[in-house]
Chains A and B, each alone.
Chain A
Amino acid sequence: MSEHIVPVRVYVSIFLALIVGTTLTVWAAFQDFPGPLNVIVAMTIAVVKATLVVLYFMHVRYSARLIWVIVASALFWMGILFALTFSDYLTRGWM
């Protein structure tokens, strides 16, 4: 498969989106949202920013299926790490 060259305007758009995301997350941090919403908002913005970097700056959107599998495997094993650890810690009410 031949290489895909990402046009400059895509890079500029992603850069601007990342700066907007950073501004947004700083603003949101000072708002007193109900319950755990502050954490959810901050993490959602971070995940969106990271996804933009992976897909466009790191070219995964235009990469071979094999690269997708590698990236997905990283997320999968991270999921195991967190899920199994917290299934233990969060169910020990006496600690």
Chain B
Amino acid sequence: MAETYVEHEVSHPALQHHFENLEQQREAGTLGMWVFLVTEIMFFGGMFLAYTLYRSKYPEAFAIASNHLDIKLGAINTAVLIFSSFTMAMAVYSTQVGKRRAQIISLVLTIVLGLAFLGIKAVEYYQKYEDHLIPGSLIPGNPFNPDPHAMHLTPGVSMQHVQMFYWIYFAMTGMHALHMIIGVGLLSVLLYFSLKRRYTPEYHNPVEVIGLYWHFVDIVWIFLFPLLYLLGRHLGGHAG
């Protein structure tokens, strides 16, 4: 289709020579990003599997460990990330309709919200460090050694199984945070080229595909928040 456009679009500087036109180039780029996201789903899927398996084996220990996470910070971070997904969607929209000012503001907001998420996450990690909840001997001189009373550990529940929860917690939120850091980096590149007026309604696929990545990272958190912070609260949770 769009035979009549071919000659016009060949002249677009962003069109790569192996594509017929920008439309085809855009669809190929989007498809490629989705294939990458499938591998990401498989990657995180393995960790979700490990979580589900260990939680089904040690439900009491997981509830006790989960109840020690800071539910307020977790909920605030969920809202921050959802808001950043919205501003990302607005960045794509502004680019599609050619509103350059809105595009730049949306990208800046998305970066700021992403950094806010990482900052709150760092505060949480520091609290876990102070409570000696970093598993194993990951931090030299500060091994996993929480106070059983502060954890509200009930008789018959092994601290080793509580530690298992924290291995999974740090593996999953750590990988998620790494994805956020990469995402903020990608968004900074987008912002740089936006300021150079590279993205237009005809050529905006980089904004679109990095948006897909950003939303994917948001979805991972949408599952992490209830699984890590919430399940077990009804058994008598102690916030913080």
Measured CB to CB, the residues of A under 8 A from B are 2-3, 5-6, 8, 11-12, 14-15, 18-19, 22, 25-26, 29-33, 38-39, 42-43, 45-46, 49-50, 53-54, 56-58, 63-64, 66-67, 70-71, 73-74, 77-78, 81-82, 85-86, 89-90
Contact flags (1/0) for B32-75 with A, using CB distance below 8 Å?
A: 00110110011001100100110010000000000000010001
Q: Is the CB of B82 within 8 A of A19?
A: yes
**Could you tell me the distance between the alpha carbons of A12 and B89 in the complex, rounded to whole angstroms?**
10
State how many angstroms separate the Cβ of A20 from the closest Cβ of chain B.
11
Check if B168 is an interface residue, CB within 8 A of chain A: no
> A residues within 8 A CB of B110?
none
Point out the residue from B27, B42, B78, B223 that lies within 8 Å of A50, measured CB to CB. B223
**Could you tell me the distance between the alpha carbons of A42 and B226 in the complex, rounded to whole angstroms?**
6
Q: How many A-B residue pairs have CB under 8 A?
A: 123
State how many angstroms separate the Cβ of B110 from the closest Cβ of chain A.
12
> B residues within 8 A CB of A3?
23, 26, 96
Q: Is the CB of B226 within 8 A of A67?
A: no
Q: Which residue of chain B is the closest to A25 with respect to CB atoms?
A: B226
Q: Is the CB of B230 within 8 A of A26?
A: yes
